[in-house]
Amino acid sequence: MTSIHARISQIVLILAGLSGLGMLLILGGVLHRSVDTVMDEGLQESAELLYGLMAAHPERLDAVDGILPAPPHKEGVVWQVVDNHGSTRLRSHQAPTIPLSSQSAKGFSDQPRWRVYSMQLGQGGGVLHVAQRAGDRSATQWQVLGSALGMMLIVGTTLVMWLNRRLRSELKPLQDLSEAVARFDPLATEVGLPDPTREELVPVIKAIHELGDRLASHVAHERALAAHSAHALRTPLAGIDAQLAVAIRQSEGPLQARLLQTRAAAARLQHVVSALINLFRSGGEMRWQQVSLAELVGNLPLKGAHVSVLSTEPIEADPDLLSAALFNLLDNSVRHQASEIEIRVELGDPFTVLSILDNGEGITSDRLEVVESALRGESTESGLGLGLAMTQLVARAHGGQVQIRARTDGRSGVEVLLSLQRHSLLAQDPGDRQP
């Protein structure tokens, strides 16, 4: 996408180019006519001046024949006196010997190489032709036009540069507002938006504040509800677990096996509730730490599958939330008949990606499509179980996401990709880090 500055600059350049071209055409036509008129007036005045001199001393013209004496010089204007028989009687030293024009009447005429002004020199005195070279006239016109064009380019370039600077200056408040919005947290009242410096930004800042207030209200309500629900569930679940433990000790055979399964399901629910409490504790703030993935997985109360962590590199995460997410994923694999689970780690920038591969019963293409749609938020119906939904919440809290797909190595089972945005702890005060 192009920026507003680039689009407006492009429009300004196009308009400047079109207006410059139009002005050049108009100015070219005006200058051509003006310069042509000025040179014609100079040609006519030169002819009238020569006419006056020749009329004042006609006897001297009779005494001179051929080229009028003059020091060598380049003549911008040449002249001739042509007698009534069409012969050149007198001329300037760079004038041709043949008549410049056959015209005898007073006025201008255009010849192949000359612009000529002719005047009658009294009765029987012949014709005075005063002329300029067409090439000299054209060169003068182009010189004037080039000078005008150069000045237009200088003025136009200066104007465009000035407009560009003014445009940057006028768009600076919008850029400042964008940076302020990037830092704006509706839940942190101490971080607000700057006062508007342009009238057009007043409704924008007002709308952002109102949106922030609505979001803060919704988030606070949802967090309070989720935290209250999680705490309200923890107590009865603990009581259920205690009663199941007593019932298991007092039962035998098939009943005891069913009670054990029930207690395992209750334990999984307790972990989900604990994850909810961790997710919504302290307003949802993250506690980033350097985490040993192998140690974290080793402490999970998981039974029924062998888990291999194929990495010794520490990762950056909230250990409580990551534990809840991994437990949900691993427990889901066990419930789908997985006996071997591998966890691979890819340290990228800006994401660390955990790949959880199991050898369970896999997932059908129809079910996979439903789950992927739910993970992307495109489905109106929940295609996720509570555990996977919790994992998605944890991933988003880490700035990442969850993806699920069939294994690409041809083996049965699924591969879950859990991405976590990297969060460097090096810039933090060591005393602020959690043990």
Q: Which fold has domain 287-435?
A: Heat Shock Protein 90 (3.30.565)
| Residue 313 CB coordination number (10 Å) | 11
Asked if 415 and 280 count as a contact pair (C-beta separation under 8 A), the reply is: no
So what CATH class is 187-285? Answer: mainly alpha
The answer, yes or no, to whether residue 381 has pLDDT greater than 60, is no
Report yes or no: 359 and 339 within 8 Å, Cβ to Cβ.
yes
Mean pLDDT throughout 271-293? 71
Specify the pLDDT at position 109: 92
Higher pLDDT, 207 or 382: 207
- pLDDT class for 230, splitting at 50, 70, 90? low
Q: Which pLDDT score, from 0 to 100, does residue 123 have?
A: 67
Average pLDDT (385-412) is 83
Report DSSP letters for 352-408, one per residue. Answer: EEEEEEE-SS---HHHHHHHHHHHTT--SS--S-HHHHHHHHHHHHTT--EEEEE-S
Secondary structure (DSSP) of 209-235 = HHHHHHHHHHHHHHHHHHHHHHHHHHH
User: Which pLDDT value is given to residue 380?
Assistant: 46
What does the block give as tokens for 180? Answer: 């302020």
Per-residue pLDDT, averaged over 264-277, amounts to 71
Which residue would you say has higher pLDDT here, 415 or 276? Answer: 415
With the CA atoms of 215, 217, 219 and 222 taken in that order, what torsion angle do they form, in degrees rounded to the nearest 10? -140
Statement: residue 220 has pLDDT above 80: no
Q: Where are the domains of the chain?
A: 4-68+75-153, 187-285, 287-435
Decide if pLDDT at 268 tops 70: no
Q: Which of 252, 171, 189 is nearest to 3 (CA)?
A: 171
- The residue-averaged pLDDT of 190-194 equals 73
What token pair was written down for 411?
């083996």
What is the pLDDT averaged over residues 84-97? 86
Tell me phi and psi for residue 92, to 5 degrees.
-75, 165
What is the average per-residue pLDDT within 201-209? 86
Alpha-carbon dihedral 294, 299, 303, 309, rounded to 10 degrees: 0
Q: Work out the pLDDT band at 430, boundaries 50, 70, 90.
A: very low
Q: Is pLDDT of 343 > 90?
A: yes
The pLDDT mean for the chain works out to 81
pLDDT at 366 over 80: yes
* pLDDT recorded at residue 359: 92
| Higher pLDDT among residues 45 and 378, named by residue | 45
User: How is residue 192 written in tokens?
Assistant: 């607000």
> DSSP readout, 56-121?
H-HHHHHH--EEPP--S---SSEEEEE-TTS-EEEE-TTS-SS-S-S--SSEEEE-SSEEEEEEE-
**pLDDT score recorded for residue 341:** 92
pLDDT, tens only, 136-153: 888 888 888 888 888 888
d(CA 9, CA 156): 14
* 124 pLDDT higher than 80: no
Helices (H) and strands (E) in the chain, counts: 9, 13
Please, what sign has the CA dihedral across residues 205, 207, 209, 215? negative
In this predicted structure, what is the pLDDT of residue 218? Answer: 78
pLDDT value, residue 189: 65
2 has a pLDDT exceeding 70: no
**Tokens representing 307?**
């888990």
Q: What is the pLDDT of residue 429?
A: 41
Question: Over 80: is that where the pLDDT of 418 sits?
Answer: yes
What's the pLDDT score for residue 332? 85
